[in-house]
Structure 1
Amino acid sequence: MGTTRDDSAERFAQLALDLHSSGGVDETVQTVVEFALQALDCSHAGVALIVNGHQLEIPAVTDPVVAEIYALQVNGGKGPLTESMRTRSTVLVRDAATDDRWTEWNTKVLELGVRSVLDVPLTTSAGTVGVLGLYSVQPDAFGPDEDAIAHILARHASVAVASARHEHNLGQAVDARKLVGQAMGILMERYDLDGDQAFAVLRRYSQDTNTKLHDVAAQLIETRQLPR
């Protein structure tokens, strides 16, 4: 037992390092699903993430089967994924052949060869960011040990996804500031404006054309003209 715990601790320590070195959200969740195959008794794994507050996207799966199962629920269908997302709780399907909670979903996953499912929400202090889905072609594949490991993995994944998104947003903000700065420079040189006046011109065009400020700046830089 001690050796098993030591091995698990070492594997999760390596996972933390791998997640830290991941380049972005897609790379982060791909690392998570690949680790899930190694650490858990599952045939397939995938991650669904919430974007724009309510929409779902599927950035990482280990098999096209998972993408098909997710597709059933992404567009409003009922199943363990949407249930886990809604309740922010773990949902276990011991055997899709006998579970009667989602008839349409059960029929489809059985056709795809999946028998048991474990969906674990990815949550942070700010809310739910997605769901980690684990799938097996064997019935009753996920017991207490698998559940415990899945929850540890979900915690690592939640923090890593939140950090990757934060870094991405910061990068976008920096890029936007650079664009606005370059556009202001063009206006200042062409029309002999100071910084405040150049920014006011960009902001006015942004408001009048209902266009984001950085998009107005990008168009000015590319065409050397303001939007009509």
Structure 2
Amino acid sequence: MDEDPAGDDFFSRMALDLHSGSGGGSEQAVEHVAEYARAAVVCDGAGIMRSHARGLLATAAATSPSVAEAHHLQLVHGEGPCIDAVTDVGSGTYVSGDVRADARYPAWGPAVADLGFTSVLSVALRTHERGYGSLNLYAAGRDAFTRADLEVAHVFARHASVAIASAHEQEGLQTAVDARKLVGQAQGILMERFDLDADQAFAFLRRHSQDHNIKLHAVAEWVVANRRTHRTPPSDVGTGAG
């Protein structure tokens, strides 16, 4: 990366790389995000925390073990700028120039300072539709992040959010396609085994799904996996039993 980290060429190359890399899934996308972030805003470490179902947060990418530990310590103590950025419905931006002395983070601040980080900048990763987590930058020096760094981080976060959203959408579409294929295979097995037509086979799968409150693809997966038997799916399909 020879371009000026704040220049248009850098962001153009970053956008192209993130777009082309999104085909590898959201995991690869966030790894690219973290690496580019460290170059875009010159700092000592960068990472991504991703938000999952029921508000759960987890480290999705980190440029060093220290960054991963800094993230983990926020989950341990229940406080920190990464968490604030994710949960904030406003600007989603949090900066600390001296984490050890920051009254907002009395437990996390001293702990992360012991890792060698003094300054932190966290920006929410989100589109108009949903949030995906936070981009987090760490530096050893005090008051390391300037207003210019903040503006660059915001531009970068917008690019990164789109890349992650694109990868997430592709994964969702692929999951839907795989589920449809699985249901189709299960239908074929039931049609052959019980002399049913396609509608009757699908009705069997759907009825078992509804009667036992089991996802349709879980029922189909059991039928395919047990196609050599003549048993019907047990009521606990999808729970790890049966």
> Considering the TM-score relative to the shorter chain, is it more than 0.5?
yes
Instruction: Tell me by how many angstroms 1:85 deviates.
Output: 1.6
1:112-160 Cα offsets, whole Å, 9 max, x none, are 1100000001121113211000000111111011111100110011111
Partner of 1:164: 167
| Residue 175, structure 1, aligned to residue 181, structure 2 | no
RMSD of the TM alignment (CA)? 1.7
1:186 to 184, 189, 211: 189
The farther-off stretch of 78-87 and 103-112 is 78-87
SS at match of 1:138: coil
Partner residue in 2 for 1:124: 127
Aligned-residue offset at 1:53:
4.3
Give the C-alpha shift of residue 75 in structure 1: 5.0
> How many residue pairs align between the two structures?
225
Give the CA deviation at 1:100: 1.9
Identity of aligned residues (%): 45
SS in 1 for 2:221: helix
Please name the residue that 1:24 is paired with. 25
Task: State the alpha-carbon separation in 1 of the partners of residues 95 and 199 from structure 2.
Answer: 58
1:226 matches 2:207 = no
The alpha carbon displacement at 1:98 in A equals: 2.8
The amino acid across from 1:78 in the alignment is E
Contact 2:99–2:105 (CA under 8 A) maintained in structure 1 = no
2:35 match: 34
Aligned 1:1-228 pairs, distance under 5 A: 8-22=7-21, 23-75=24-76, 77-88=78-89, 89-224=92-227, 225-228=231-234
Alpha-carbon offset, residue 76 of structure 1: 6.2
Report deviation, 1:4.
5.5
Aligned-partner SS, 1:174:
helix
Given residue 163 of structure 2, which amino acid in structure 1 is its aligned partner? A
The answer for unaligned runs of 5 or more in structure 2 is 235-242
Q: Residues 98 and 74 from structure 1, CA distance in 2 versus in 1: closer, same or farther, beyond 3 angstroms? A: closer
Give 1:20 deviation, angstroms: 1.0
- Identify if the C-alpha distance between structure 1 residues 207 and 149 changes in structure 2 by more than 3 Å, giving closer, same or farther: same
> In structure 1, how many angstroms separate the alpha carbons of the residues matched to 2:76 and 2:53?
15
- Tell me the TM-score normalised to structure 2 length: 0.88
Report if aligned partners of 2:124, 2:157 keep a CA contact under 8 Å in 1.
Answer: yes
Mean CA deviation greater in 206-215 or 126-135: 206-215
**Deviation, structure 1 residue 209:** 3.0
Q: Using the alignment, how far apart are the partners of 2:131 and 2:219 within structure 1?
A: 34
2:78 partner SS? coil
Matches of 1:184 and 1:97, distance apart in 2: 61
Q: What TM-score, normalized to structure 1?
A: 0.93
